[in-house]
């Protein structure tokens, strides 16, 4: 490996760790607001930012490792929530990578990615949990989905 490739890999690894840390820390801040975690879905923000700024590998790493490490270190999110969070984070990373490759890094791209991820997640969960649970994030998390769609492309351009 040459030095440029080694430096690039090191920077990507560092960015991945920062996005994972952001996905773990941001929920703690939003949970200081009553109902803030449910309304703003903060554990997914750095997944979307990671995909839009660094690509699928970084975003998917953040999507999968953030909830697991948060649970192992802090006991949050609750173990019962992990499958749901892992599914939604994975769908978000895959959808954002697919859509941003075709449409670029913009607010409409992020909004489409978030909408697609939550719709596909809900349809996947529906047979197991029922419609009310499967689609609840589309209702209760609407402020977070909208805010994430606006903030993530802007932050992704800055990092």
Q: In the 8-state DSSP scheme, what is residue 32?
A: T
SS (H, E, C) 26-66: HHHHHCCCCCHHHHHCHHHHHHHHHHHHHCHHHHHHHHHHH
Identify the pLDDT of residue 146.
93
Residue 11 pLDDT level (bands cut at 50, 70, 90):
confident
Q: Are 63 and 94 in contact (CB under 8 A)?
A: no
**CA 33/CA 136 separation, integer angstroms:** 19
- Residue 82: count other Cβ atoms within 10 Å of its Cβ: 14
104 by DSSP, 3-state: which? coil
- Cα–Cα distance for residue pair 3/112, rounded to 1 Å: 38
Secondary-structure breakdown of the chain: helix, strand, coil percentages, each rounded to the nearest 5: 85, 0, 15
Return the SS3 of 1. coil
User: What's the rounded mean pLDDT across residues 4-8?
Assistant: 72
pLDDT tens track for 29-88: 999 999 999 999 999 999 999 999 999 999 999 999 999 999 999 999 999 999 999 999
Q: Which CATH class is domain 3-158?
A: mainly alpha
- At 106, phi and psi to the nearest 5? -150, 170
For the chain, percent of residues with pLDDT exceeding 90: 70
Question: Does residue 5 surpass a pLDDT of 80?
Answer: no
Taking the domains of the chain in order of start, what are their residue ranges?
3-158
């Amino acid at each position: 490996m040459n030095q440029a490739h080694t430096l690039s890999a090191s920077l990507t690894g560092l960015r991945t760790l920062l996005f994972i840390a952001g996905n773990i820390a941001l929920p703690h801040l939003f949970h200081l607001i009553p109902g803030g975690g449910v309304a703003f879905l903060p554990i997914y923000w750095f997944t979307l930012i990671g995909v839009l700024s660094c690509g699928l590998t970084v975003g998917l790493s953040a999507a999968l490792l953030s909830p697991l490490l948060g649970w192992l270190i802090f006991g949050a999110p609750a173990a019962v929530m992990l499958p749901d969070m892992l599914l939604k984070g994975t769908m978000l990373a895959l959808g954002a990578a697919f859509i941003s490759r075709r449409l670029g890094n913009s607010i409409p791209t992020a909004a489409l990615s978030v909408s697609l991820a939550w719709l596909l997640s809900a349809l996947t969960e529906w047979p197991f949990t029922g419609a009310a649970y499967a689609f609840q994030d589309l209702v209760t998390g609407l402020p977070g989905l909208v805010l994430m769609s606006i903030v993530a492309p802007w932050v992704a351009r800055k990092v």
